[in-house]
Amino acid sequence: MKMTFRWYGDADPVKLEYIRQIPGMYGIVSAVYDVPVGDVWPVANIMALKQKIEAQGLKFEVIESVPVHEDIKLGKPGREQLVANYAQTLKNLAQCGLKVVCYNFMPVFDWTRTTLEKKLEDGSSTLAFEVETVNQIDPAQGIQLPGWDASYKPEALKALLAEYNAIGEEQLWKNLAWFLERVIPVAEQAGIKMAIHPDDPPRPIFGLPRIVKNRQDLERLLAIVDSPANGLTLCSGSLGADCHNDIAAMVREFAGRGRIHFAHMRNVRNNEAGDFYETSHRSADGSLDMAEIMRAYFDAGFEGYVRPDHGRMIWGETGKPGYGLYDRALGAVYLNGLWEGIAKEAAATQGSAQ
């Protein structure tokens, strides 16, 4: 298991020199943020980022994310050039020594929360989602939620929502298949492993189709192009927002088949209605048994990349909600501690059996 940490570049208030001080930290997960979506990432830009990270003694082997252009998701004319650009970006990343690319196929926006600052009893704040709040929003009147890109003007957003409503889930599946059938062979040849991130939250909202939300969806996706290069970013928090998803079972199945290339470790407190809020990584604080999830990875022989996902904002820290240093650093140490304990227990059991 290789422990990594998300970093947003020079604008990130969390400095690389702080991240390297977290015990057991292997590397950084980042991206090139100054190239428009759909354009090719130049080798020079990738190398500049890589050199900055490696100068701090950290590895740079995982990209999160190379965004998929909306025209590809919608199956619009012009997608051929966009997918050719995407393929060239993968080749450039491989040339620079990158090994895993996290991406998603979520329509319009990567994630949705109804608040970024839910106050918890201990005084910390966290990201949360309430179904009733979303249900009361009329998309025709505009959507004002944290995480929804303000670059879309109301009329443009309404038009985009209408386009997705017209294609539905099955057409979105077909558009994803079209993308994978062209990109995965390139990734395989380049030595890149593609790792799709599940929908967050894992359910339809505002009429937008959602197609990567449960075990059946993951199985269907992997079967589109049955290649080790077609894999998963298994996000425990995204999938765990649906209390019917058994995360440990998914880990045992898909990591056991070598198809999980990147693990996002996040705990949430969820309910049957679909409401959830993000907690510390500790099993006792959320609805997910993080110790059992880590054991599932260990039992599956997982040797891939892990990162502590969103954390609470604690100790007066300010900045990008969910991406402060302190709680994610605590999460990384907690996860490494779980892994070490499981490994020692396994070694002791094996020793006594001999």
Task: Report the alpha-carbon distance of residue 280 to residue 330 in Å, rounded.
Answer: 9
Task: Name which residue leads in pLDDT, 147 or 320.
Answer: 320
Task: Name which residue leads in pLDDT, 302 or 111.
Answer: 302
Cα distances (angstroms) measured from residue 80 to each of 71, 77, 207: 10, 8, 27
Q: Which pLDDT score is estimated for 159?
A: 86
pLDDT digits (tens, 9 = 90+) for 29-59: 999 999 999 999 999 999 999 999 999 999 9
Three-class secondary structure assignment of 20-74 = CCCCCCCEEEECCCCCCCCCCCCHHHHHHHHHHHHCCCCEEEEEECCCCCHHHHH
- 235 classed as catalytic: yes
Conformational region of residue 186, where left means phi above 0, alpha means psi within -120 to 50, and beta covers everything else: alpha
196 DSSP 8-state letter: E
- 96 classed as catalytic: no
Asked if residue 120 is part of any domain, the answer here is: no
Domain assignment of residue 235, given as a range: 2-107+169-353
Q: Which pLDDT score is estimated for 153?
A: 74
Task: Report the alpha-carbon distance of residue 2 to residue 76 in Å, rounded.
Answer: 38
Q: Which of 199, 217, 309, 327 is catalytic?
A: 309
Asked if residue 116 is part of any domain, the answer here is: no
CATH of the domain at 98: 3.20.20.150
Asked if residue 128 is part of any domain, the answer here is: no
Q: Which of 235, 261, 277, 305 is catalytic?
A: 235
Beta bridge partners of 196: 103, 232
**pLDDT class of 161 with cuts at 50, 70, 90:** confident
Residue pair 127/113 in contact (Cβ under 8 Å)? The answer is yes
Q: Quick check: 154 pLDDT over 80?
A: no
246 DSSP 8-state letter: -
Task: Report the alpha-carbon distance of residue 264 to residue 212 in Å, rounded.
Answer: 15
Asked if residue 85 is part of any domain, the answer here is: yes
C-alpha closest to that of 19 among 30, 6, 32, 31: 6
**What is the pLDDT of the chain when averaged over all its residues?**
94
Q: Which amino acid is at 298?
A: F
Which residues contact residue 170 at a Cβ distance below 8 angstroms, ignoring those fewer than 6 apart? none
The two beta strands, 27-30 and 115-119, are unpaired
User: What is the average pLDDT across 228-253?
Assistant: 98
Q: Which pLDDT score is estimated for 149?
A: 58
* Element housing 103 (H / E): strand 100-103
Task: Report the alpha-carbon distance of residue 197 to residue 227 in Å, rounded.
Answer: 17
Task: Report the alpha-carbon distance of residue 164 to residue 335 in Å, rounded.
Answer: 38
**pLDDT class of 133 with cuts at 50, 70, 90:** very high
Angle between helices 247-256 and 215-224 (to 10 degrees): 20
User: What is the average pLDDT across 321-344?
Assistant: 97
Cα distances (angstroms) measured from residue 72 to each of 182, 192, 230: 12, 20, 18
Q: Which of 86, 164, 310, 327 is catalytic?
A: 310
pLDDT digits (tens, 9 = 90+) for 254-279: 999 999 999 999 999 999 999 999 99
Q: How far is CA 91 from the centre of its chain?
A: 22
- 18 classed as catalytic: no
Task: Report the alpha-carbon distance of residue 196 to residue 254 in Å, rounded.
Answer: 13
Q: Which pLDDT score is estimated for 21?
A: 97
Q: Which of 86, 103, 242, 264 is catalytic?
A: 264
Number of domains in the chain: 1
Asked if residue 38 is part of any domain, the answer here is: yes
Task: Report the alpha-carbon distance of residue 68 to residue 180 in Å, rounded.
Answer: 11
3 state SS of 331? helix
**pLDDT class of 350 with cuts at 50, 70, 90:** confident
Q: Which two tokens stand for residue 223?
A: 């079967």
Q: Which of 197, 275, 305, 334 is catalytic?
A: 197
Q: Which of 86, 164, 277, 323 is catalytic?
A: 323
- 305 classed as catalytic: no
pLDDT above 70 coverage of the chain, percent: 98
CA angle (149, 155, 159) in 5-degree steps = 90
Task: Report the alpha-carbon distance of residue 142 to residue 47 in Å, rounded.
Answer: 40
Q: Quick check: 139 pLDDT over 90?
A: no
**pLDDT class of 101 with cuts at 50, 70, 90:** very high
Asked if residue 201 is part of any domain, the answer here is: yes
How many beta carbons lie within 10 A of that of residue 168, not counting itself?
Answer: 12
Asked if residue 7 is part of any domain, the answer here is: yes
- 297 classed as catalytic: no
- 69 classed as catalytic: no
6 DSSP 8-state letter: E
Q: Which amino acid is at 354?
A: Q
Q: Quick check: 331 pLDDT over 90?
A: yes
Task: Report the alpha-carbon distance of residue 302 to residue 247 in Å, rounded.
Answer: 15
Asked if residue 149 is part of any domain, the answer here is: no
